[in-house]
Amino acid sequence: MNVFSKLDPDIVTFHILPHLDGKTLIILSSVSSQFYNLIWKNKNSDLWRNICISTWPSLLTNFPDPIFHSRIISVWPDYRSFFLDAFPSIHPPLINNPPPPLPPVACIFYTVDIFLNGGEGEQQPLYSLYTLDAIETHEYIPHPLIGPYLFKCYLNHDRGMMKFFKVKKEGCEEYLKHNLTFSCIAIDPKVTKRAGSLFTGYKAVSVEPVTLGVMVVFESVLHAPSGLSNFYTEMIKCRVEVTCSWEGGREDKCYVRIIYFTMKDMNEIPLVNRHGAAVILNAIQNGERRGRTT
């Protein structure tokens, strides 16, 4: 450990590690067994709470439930356990385990965080919120005129932690594509009692002008459980559209207006509501966590 081996472990734990972000801690833990033990076997609850909050400022928001932490985060033994579950990106499982059973109503919490690159690797939080989506999972007969209830979720609300930021309208598409990042964790406190990262600091795949301003698109891919093979392709595409607008047309008052989450398979067939819930719950329980070191 060189210089660090001469330091008291408490100095490293309480005065050095708290200044590092989660990604840096993961990298540092692979340097040596000493760092590994100091980081992953660290029982300092304040350290891991601060790391989680700096990674996901949405954990500090108070909508829709001011006792979110006691009801949801308490499902995990501590913030360290929550970080290990939520930080790594979810990838298709190595073994196709049976999907979790669907409850009559699937209650999925989402934490949403949008950052803007401020230069030199600094990430400025622009928008943070956690919200609940309650999905009825019973079989139903589609309405002959309306059709089936498709999976769609608006991941935003007026009471989210939102900041104005300055973006020139000319050339904004290229700027936002390279500098805006999106993170979203799905939390299931009832069935799987786990969390999974649907998006981990993703950059946009496309940006295009729309009536309300400019739409920034983020995409990720999840694995469909075996029970849905008769309806969709094996892989399911998650698409998030973030619409940014300028209040009063002022370039120094750009803000996140709408966040729209949908799911389709690789043949562009949209998922119905209950099937979208099944895909997310299966990903949370069976998805492989990449970047996890323990």
The residue ranges of every structural domain in the chain are 67-290
pLDDT, tens digit, 9 for 90 and up, residues 43-82: 667 778 888 888 888 887 765 555 555 567 788 888 888 9
pLDDT, tens digit, 9 for 90 and up, residues 72-111: 778 888 888 898 889 888 877 766 788 899 999 999 999 9
Positive or negative, the CA dihedral 126, 128, 134, 135 is positive
Task: List helix spans (H) across 67-224.
Answer: 68-71, 79-86, 172-179
Mean pLDDT for the chain?
84
pLDDT of residue 43: 62
Task: State yes or no: pLDDT of 148 exceeds 80.
Answer: no
Q: Which of 13-22, 81-90, 242-251 is the most confident on average?
A: 242-251
Residue 293: count of CB within 10 angstroms of its CB: 14
- Stretch 288-293: mean pLDDT: 64
Residue 186: count of CB within 10 angstroms of its CB: 25
Q: What are phi and psi of 181, to 5 degrees?
A: -125, 150
Task: State yes or no: pLDDT of 254 exceeds 90.
Answer: yes
In angstroms, the CA 168 to CA 181 distance is 18
In angstroms, the CA 114 to CA 255 distance is 11
Confidence of residue 293 (pLDDT cuts 50, 70, 90): very low
Nearest Cα residue to 202 out of 142, 242, 236, 229: 242
Positive or negative, the CA dihedral 116, 122, 124, 128 is positive
Task: State yes or no: pLDDT of 264 exceeds 70.
Answer: yes
In angstroms, the CA 97 to CA 283 distance is 11
- Collapsing DSSP to helix, strand or coil, 222 comes out as strand
Nearest Cα residue to 156 out of 183, 189, 116, 129: 129
Confidence of residue 229 (pLDDT cuts 50, 70, 90): confident
Q: In this predicted model, which residue has the larger pLDDT, 210 or 84? A: 210
Structure tokens at 153: 């979720």
In angstroms, the CA 64 to CA 71 distance is 12
pLDDT of residue 174: 94
Predicted structure pTM score:
0.86
- Which residues in 273-292 are b (16+ Cβ under 10 Å) and which e? bbbbbbbbbbbbbbbebeee
In angstroms, the CA 294 to CA 42 distance is 13
First to last CA, the chain: 20
- Stretch 157-173: mean pLDDT: 84
